[in-house]
Structure 1
Amino acid sequence: MPAKFALHGPVTKNPGDFVTLPGSAFHVPVKGPPIGGPESWTKNDIIEHVKTGMKIELSTMPIYFCALNSIHHDNGGWGTKARFNILAIAEQEMLHLALAGNMLASLGGSQPLYNHKFVPSYPSSILFDNVDMVLRPADKENLECFLKLEAPYMPSESDLLDMHHQAKANNVAPTYMSIGQFYKELERGIQAVAQKDPDLFGGDVYHQFRGADFFDSNMTVITDKDSALKALQTIVDQGEGSLGIPESHYALFVELYQMRMNWKCINYIDEPSTEKYWENGNMVAFFLSLAVNASYCYLLQAIDRFREEDLDSVSQTQLLRQIRRIMVAILSPAMHALAGQEITPGRFAAPCFEFYPPYSEDCLTPSALFNALSALLEMALGVAEDEAVKDEISKIVFSMSDLGPA
């Protein structure tokens, strides 16, 4: 059996036609651990740190969505609360990603999200302590990882002294111990460079997300040092590095960890991948997993395209609608349908959030990506036998009718 599969060409009725490319998968680890900032910051240093911030935020979203998707519905019980809280955290990670993107635009930089080298793969790790980034259910082990990921880092006096000596000796600050510390160091860099360059954030304001687009007053258009620092403070206060804030990510995960025995989870297979679903012979899971990957990349591409369109243009308005619809009507129900597929006895498929097309570093055009996604859903529907599964997929297919490229 060939070891690779691909689907971004003509559609046929034979699933084997999509297994064509020899070799093994590409794996792009989550960028990390990031190294501490320089003693003497430059504008380019800030741009590179902001790009790393975008990568950090992008890397956390799939692990939270995967955990959320694993929790059984329980009609208002702790499972419902856990789902609500994890969804709120994941949505705030999307806000943080948008804020970092706004900051990058104001600095005159750019970074496409739909990019093979920028889309992380799993399992991987992040930060100095190599916190695991794994696609798992919302169980004890994964909640412990979430706590480590969102934990505030408060250096002791001796830690600060050690940092000072290490920075002097190596001309770099130490490896970051937390995401909060990462953003605190970025704040230091902004303060230093803005003092010498008052026009540091004098770049593009016309291709930034605004509160009217998403997240209301929490969204900040970056125009100067003060608005940049406000955006950083929003990120830190909502979770990364904050102590004593009741609704911070860390505080919410502490509560969920304490109550983790009060909900049930889908038992995912270990280290899920689309290739494993093919090898297992579950073609419904295989095509649904590819569809999840394609819809995830279509979402990232839509965000990229939004930032390229003119402010308040018809195309930009259409893309905003498309971004919302992809998340609600395509990606979320496709993940739910995928998680119902049993791969081995008692173990189920999980969304993989892989770059699409598989085994290629090339991005597809919006039309090609949309057509591939449509074809994958049709193929999943064609091989499904269970009527409930067919009904789920049919609803997703119907929702695709008005989601073509704007």
Structure 2
Amino acid sequence: MGIFSPVEGVPTKWTKKALIEHVKTGMQVELGTLPIYFCALYSIKRDNGGWGSKARANILAVAEQEMLHLALAGNMLAALGGTQPLYDKLFIPTYPSEILFEKIEMALRPANKENLECFLKIEAPYMPPPKLEVAEDVEYSIQLLPGYNGIGEFYRELQHGIYEVSATDRDLFSSNHDKQFRGEEFFGEKMTVVVDTKTALQALETIVDQGEGSIGVPDSHYSIFVQLYQRRKEWTCIDYVNEPHTADYKGKSEVAYRLSLAVDATFCYLLQTLDRCWAEGQPAKRTQLFRNIHRLMVEILSPVAHALVEQVIDGGRHAAPCFEFYPPGSDGKPLDPKGLFEGLVAEVQRAYNAATGPEHQGTREAIGKIKFCLTGLAPSL
């Protein structure tokens, strides 16, 4: 597969190929937000129902909706007859980087003032933001690229492209209806199976409304992050190392290194499982794949990441999850499902073996529970 290149702006003429490339770019945008939101979520210390707990719940809700948006864009791509593996070294985001179109820094950081400002920039509607009801305003001005002024504008231009191409192509969304994510499998009534122009536009409307929404929409991601920004001093965050990379933990903490590899492997196995859903039409196999998606998110990724962020690296700072391509140091060739799952199991076992001594007792117990939860997650091919 060639290197994926995100689109830079509105095409001179909309074609089916241009639609496919724009939808792929949309998938990369949605995928790129997941690690930064997860990383912020895992940094917030638990406080038994206080504002820290509320912040964690709100950021988790946003991340889950980004998963929905990724699935909706993937459904649209499938209906167009296009393909784009998520488990692809050239497609998985790397950090720090800049989000498409706006040159907004995306980094793996805690849920602090600086990072919440970045989240506001990412989700902001393209219009002057409202004055916040706190003494200190958000300190940013969006530097926009010439292609698009924001993510919402990108999706609205995609909407125009759909209208234009579908006017002369009635079979535009005629592919893979049986291999798309369905409501009974994922996200209920919020999910849309794309079969025609109407359902494609419905999917886009969900993405835009839940994301940037419009000023004053209380449940949009932008409004949620405004509320969190106003309360940002009411929770405590773990202090992460700067610009975390899994390889940097090697030689500093074997437990952190192996747990970080386990996070990477879990993230990639999750993406590969999503990929397999868009390729599988057999109902029984699809049911198992979607069960695995839920279990990977709840029983593996979250507890492994929480165990990781408890590990102190140097200078009193803690390890952060990196969400990198697995296996590391390879030529970028993806593993098959069996090999990837075996790699995940091996990394969890190595982390367990490394967690010796009284200082790692809690970590070892947490990893032991994760080992048990891996049962039944092996791929059924």
- TM value normalised by structure 2: 0.91
Q: Is the 8 A contact 1:178 1:240 kept in 2?
A: no
Q: Where do 1:372-383 residues align within 5 Å?
A: 372-383=343-354
Q: Is residue 239 of structure 1 aligned with residue 211 of structure 2?
A: yes
User: Which residue is equivalent to 2:159?
Assistant: 187
Q: Where do 1:124-139 residues align within 5 Å?
A: 124-139=97-112
In structure 2, give the amino acid aligned to 1:53.
Answer: G
User: Which residue is equivalent to 1:329?
Assistant: 299
Q: Is residue 201 of structure 1 aligned with residue 173 of structure 2?
A: yes
Q: Where do 1:49-88 residues align within 5 Å?
A: 49-88=22-61
Within 2, Cα distance between the matches of 1:31 and 1:90? 24
1:59-112 superposed Cα distances (whole Å, 9 cap, x missing partner) = 000000000000011111111110010000000000000000000010011111
Point out the more displaced range, 290-299 or 128-137. 128-137
Q: Is the 8 A contact 1:114 1:301 kept in 2?
A: yes
Q: Is the 8 A contact 1:127 1:175 kept in 2?
A: no
Q: Is the 8 A contact 1:211 1:220 kept in 2?
A: yes
Within 2, Cα distance between the matches of 1:96 and 1:311? 24
Give the drift of 1:247. 0.4
Within 2, Cα distance between the matches of 1:244 and 1:41? 33
* Matching residue within 125, 134, 154 for 1:152: 125
Within 1, Cα distance between the matches of 2:287 and 2:36? 29
Question: Which ranges of structure 1 fall in alignment gaps of 5 or more residues?
Answer: 1-27, 156-172
Q: Is the 8 A contact 2:29 2:100 kept in 1?
A: no
* Matching residue within 219, 224, 231 for 1:259: 231
Within 1, Cα distance between the matches of 2:236 and 2:314? 19
1:158-182 superposed Cα distances (whole Å, 9 cap, x missing partner) = xxxxxxxxxxxxxxx9411211011
Give the drift of 1:31. 6.7
Q: 1:184 to 1:77 in 2, by over 3 A?
A: same
Q: Is residue 175 of structure 1 aligned with residue 137 of structure 2?
A: no
Q: Is the 8 A contact 1:36 1:185 kept in 2?
A: no
In structure 2, give the amino acid aligned to 1:118.
Answer: F
User: Which residue is equivalent to 2:365?
Assistant: 391
Within 2, Cα distance between the matches of 1:286 and 1:337? 12
Q: Is the 8 A contact 2:304 2:367 kept in 1?
A: yes
Give the drift of 1:202. 1.1
Q: Where do 1:4-403 residues align within 5 Å?
A: 34-154=7-127, 174-279=146-251, 281-312=252-283, 314-360=284-330, 361-385=332-356, 386-403=360-377
Runs of 4+ in 1 over 2 A off after TM superposition: 240-244
In structure 1, give the amino acid aligned to 2:202.
Answer: K
Within 1, Cα distance between the matches of 2:28 and 2:101? 16
Q: Is the 8 A contact 2:112 2:232 kept in 1?
A: yes
Give the drift of 1:311. 4.0
Give the drift of 1:243. 2.7
Q: Is the 8 A contact 1:128 1:176 kept in 2?
A: yes
Identity %: 58
In structure 1, give the amino acid aligned to 2:349.
Answer: E
Give the drift of 1:241. 5.0
What secondary structure does 1:338 align onto?
helix
RMSD value over aligned CA atoms?
1.5
In structure 1, give the amino acid aligned to 2:44.
Answer: I
1:118-169 superposed Cα distances (whole Å, 9 cap, x missing partner) = 11111000134310110000000000000000000149xxxxxxxxxxxxxx
- TM value normalised by structure 1: 0.86
1:169-201 superposed Cα distances (whole Å, 9 cap, x missing partner) = xxxx94112110110110011111111112111
Point out the more displaced range, 127-136 or 80-89. 127-136
What secondary structure does 2:167 align onto?
helix
Q: Is the 8 A contact 1:181 1:241 kept in 2?
A: no
Point out the more displaced range, 340-349 or 97-106. 340-349
Within 1, Cα distance between the matches of 2:201 and 2:13? 19
Q: How many residues align?
A: 358
Within 2, Cα distance between the matches of 1:327 and 1:129? 30
Within 1, Cα distance between the matches of 2:223 and 2:197? 29
What secondary structure does 1:35 align onto?
coil
1:232-268 superposed Cα distances (whole Å, 9 cap, x missing partner) = 0000000135333110000000000011000000000
Within 1, Cα distance between the matches of 2:127 and 2:15? 26
Q: Is the 8 A contact 2:250 2:257 kept in 1?
A: yes
In structure 2, give the amino acid aligned to 1:340.
Answer: E
What secondary structure does 1:348 align onto?
coil
In structure 2, give the amino acid aligned to 1:295.
Answer: T
Within 2, Cα distance between the matches of 1:286 and 1:344? 13
Q: Is the 8 A contact 1:287 1:380 kept in 2?
A: yes
1:345-399 superposed Cα distances (whole Å, 9 cap, x missing partner) = 3200000000001122110011111111111111111010221110000000111
